[in-house]
Amino acid sequence: MRLTPAREGLRGQIAVPPDKSIAHRALILGALCRKGLAVRRLPSGGDLRSTLKVLQGLGCALRMEGTGVVIEGGDLRPPAGPLDCGNSATTMRLLAGVLAGHPFAVELSGDASLSARPMRRLAIPLRAMGAAVDLAGGEHPPVWIRGRHPLKSLSITLDVPSAQVKSAVLLAGLFAEGPTSVADPFGTRDHTERMLQWLSYGERFVRQGQVATVHPGFLEGGGALEIPGDISSAAFWIGAACLVPGSDLLLHGVSVNPTRTGFLSALRQMGGVIEETPAREEGGEPTADLAIRFREGLEGIRVPAEAAPSLIDEAPILAVAAAFARGETRLEGLAELRRKESNRLEGTAAGLCAMGARAYVEGDALVVQGPTVLRGGRVDTQGDHRLAMAFAVAALAARGETLLSDAGCVEVSYPDFFHELSTLLDRR
């Protein structure tokens, strides 16, 4: 895809796609509710289609209504064959936790990208709970599970920052013989905890400090949940408005869960102008309207490793912003980026360098020296949706034409991204 610089500021209002992380959990937990769940405003990307397809393969009755779905809760059934999770690690890891507590055998498979993702750290706690979990080569998908019921109770402390492993163990805990606890010293995203508390009315879930505890049993459900806007998708528009002179954007109904707003904090620390107006709460998740205005003079900052879990998906677009900031920006604790759809850590540095920035990887840190006048060039997205969108934003503020490889990979999380961008540019 060829992109040219924005000639004027980006102005207008945007409703970003619903939050993918929250939507996955709503679908999976809805399937475990006695009374089911109505989930409104689902994302349209490939990852959510994978979760819907897998749930149907497990005998879950789904009824599409507009942009949402009504899930009839009940017992899951043995599938007729392998369950294809597509490109979605969230689908695979969270459902592995659920299926560990069901007394039948199942195979979870995925595409080539997902089949290269690490799963051993997921298998270890599920095996400790009594499920049989096998991996290809002892490390990667397919994941073969023979569950048991009830599972053994477990109390663990995360040794790596992984919201998906934490969620899988808590979901498995619904089918254990007693309470299951997970201590999260990293402060990873807590959508599963919030939704468990919301769906169980606080009866089966307790959180004290870093420790989340789930008690076994069915969830009630029976209500409706509208999925709020995705902060990770909003990040690209926020970054664009901070980099293109004259921009003034308003984003409606974005999730501002405190475990996901590290990007907003970092960009504000750099000098970005982001105003937040509380909107409402959905399923235990706070939302807000975000107003972003361009202001010249971003400053480089250091983002310590302990902040990384709260902005891990937004690191590429934050690095793009850092290329325009005065001085050095150092983003630390990004080892997890090596295990995404691509080696996102190296890919971000390589893309910035291809556009003339001074960026390099140092251990698990990404270092960007600014300010730089980015120039258009050929950027390899490595088939990674977040890299594609981050460098599309960079192209808006660069000089000359930028050519992105495999821009169609945005289908995974934000199918309308380039259409929205074109519409936004035409509004001026």
**pLDDT tens per residue, range 20-36:** 999 999 999 999 998 99
The single-letter code of the amino acid at 113 is S
Residue reference for tokens 């402060």: 187
Q: For residues 422 and 414, give the distance between their C-alpha atoms in angstroms, rounded to a whole number.
A: 14
Give, for 286, the enclosing helix (H) or strand (E): strand 285-293
pTM assigned to the model: 0.89
pLDDT in tens, 80-116: 999 999 999 999 999 999 999 999 999 999 999 899 9
pLDDT attached to residue 427: 56
pLDDT attached to residue 44: 85
Least confidently predicted of 202-216, 292-306, 378-392: 202-216
- Which among 249, 252, 254 is positioned nearest to 230, based on CA atoms? 254
The single-letter code of the amino acid at 251 is L
pLDDT in tens, 127-155: 999 999 999 999 999 999 999 999 999 99
Distance from chain centroid for Cα 223: 24
Residues ≥6 apart with Cβ < 8 Å to 27: 39, 48, 51, 52, 55, 69, 71
Residue 225 pLDDT > 60, yes or no? Answer: yes
Kindly report whether the peptide bond that precedes residue 78 is cis, defined as omega within 30 degrees of 0: no
Residue 209 pLDDT > 90, yes or no? Answer: yes
Catalytic, 159? Answer no
Residues ≥6 apart with Cβ < 8 Å to 19: 43, 191, 227, 228, 229, 230, 231, 232, 255, 285
Among the listed residues 230, 313, 380, 384, the single catalytic one is: 313
Burial of 2 (0-12, 13-18, 19+ CB in 10 A): exposed
Residue 201 pLDDT > 90, yes or no? Answer: no
Confidence of residue 341 (pLDDT cuts 50, 70, 90): confident
pLDDT in tens, 262-277: 999 999 999 999 999 9
How many CB atoms are closer than 10 A to CB 137?
Answer: 7
**β-strand 285-293 against 248-255: which pairing, if any?**
antiparallel
- Which among 37, 35, 28 is positioned nearest to 171, based on CA atoms? 28
Q: For residues 398 and 393, give the distance between their C-alpha atoms in angstroms, rounded to a whole number.
A: 9
pLDDT attached to residue 426: 72
Supply φ then ψ for residue 5, to 5 degrees. Answer: -60, 150
User: Please, what are the domains in the chain?
Assistant: 2-16+228-426 (3.65.10.10), 20-226 (3.65.10.10)
